[in-house]
Structure 1
Amino acid sequence: MGSIVETIDDAGRRKILEKVSQSFHYAVTHIDQCNSTQILVQCENEVDLLILHCPETSHDEVLSLALKVVDRYHIPVVILSEKELSPDLRYEFHEVMVHNVLYSEFESALKSIIKFVLPQTKLRLKQTEFSQTSANLKNFSTDYAATQLLLTFVEKLNKTNTFDEVHVITIESVRELFETDICSIQHYNQQRSFSFFCGLSDEYETRCVPFCPWNVDDIDAKPTEFLNIEYSELPQFEKYLLSQQSLKSCIYFPLTGQKRIIGTLVVYFNEMHALSQEKIKLGRALAHNLSATFRRISSHTQYRNSELKYQSIFDNVVEGIYQSTKSGKFITVNNSLIKMLGYDSEEEMMQLNLPVDIYLNPEDRYQLAKEVDEHGFLHDRQLRLKRKDGSIITAIMNDRAVRDQSGEFLYYEGTLVDVTEKVQVQAELEQSEKQLKTVINSSPDLIILKDAQGRWLGANSAVETKFGLRDVKYKGRTDQELQAEAKTNKEFFEVSSKYDETTWQQHEFKRYEAVINKEDEPLYFDVVKVPSFTDSGSRWILVTIARDVTEINKDQRRQLQLEKKIQHAQKLESLYVLAGGIAHDFNNLLVSILGNAGLALMELNPESQVADSIRQIEVASQRAADLTAQLLAYSGKGKFLLEIINLSELVQEMANLLEVSISKDITLVYEFETELTPIEGDPTQIRQVVMNLITNASEAIGKKWGRIH
Structure 2
Amino acid sequence: MRAERRDSILVVDDEPQVLVALEDMLSDEFIVLKSGSAREALELVQTRQDIAVVVSDQRMPDMTGDELLARLGDVDALRILLTGFADLSAVVRAVNEGRIFAYVTKPWDAEDLRLKVQKAAEHFRLSRQLSYERQLLHDLMNNVPDGIYFKDRDLRFLRVNHAFSRIVNGHSPDALTGKTSRDVLAADIAQVIDAEERRVLESGEPSVDLVREYHLPDGSRRWFSETRAPIRNGNGQPIGLVCISRDMTERVATQEALRESEERSRKQSQLLNSILQSMGEGVVAVDRAGQFLLFNQQAAQLLGPGPHDVLPEEWSSRYGILLPDRKTPLDPATHPLLRAMQGEEVREIEVFIQNAGVPGASVAITATPLYDHEDRLVGGIALLRDVTVQRRLERELLHSQKMEAIGRLAGGIAHDFNNLLAVIASYGELVFQELGEGDPHRPDIAEVLAATHRAASLTRQLLAFSRKGLLQPRVIDLNEVVSGLERMLQRIIGEDIELRTLLAPSLGAIRADAGQIEQVILNLSVNARDAMPTGGRLTIETANVHLPPQAGAPAALQTPG
Is TM-score (shorter-chain normalized) higher than 0.5?
A: no
Give the TM bin, normalised by the shorter chain.
Answer: 0.3 to 0.5
Which protein is bigger by CA-based radius of gyration?
Answer: 1
Report 1 or 2 for greater relative contact order, CA contacts < 8 Å, sequence distance ≥ 6.
2
Give the TM-score, by structure 2 length: 0.42
Give the TM-score, by structure 1 length: 0.34
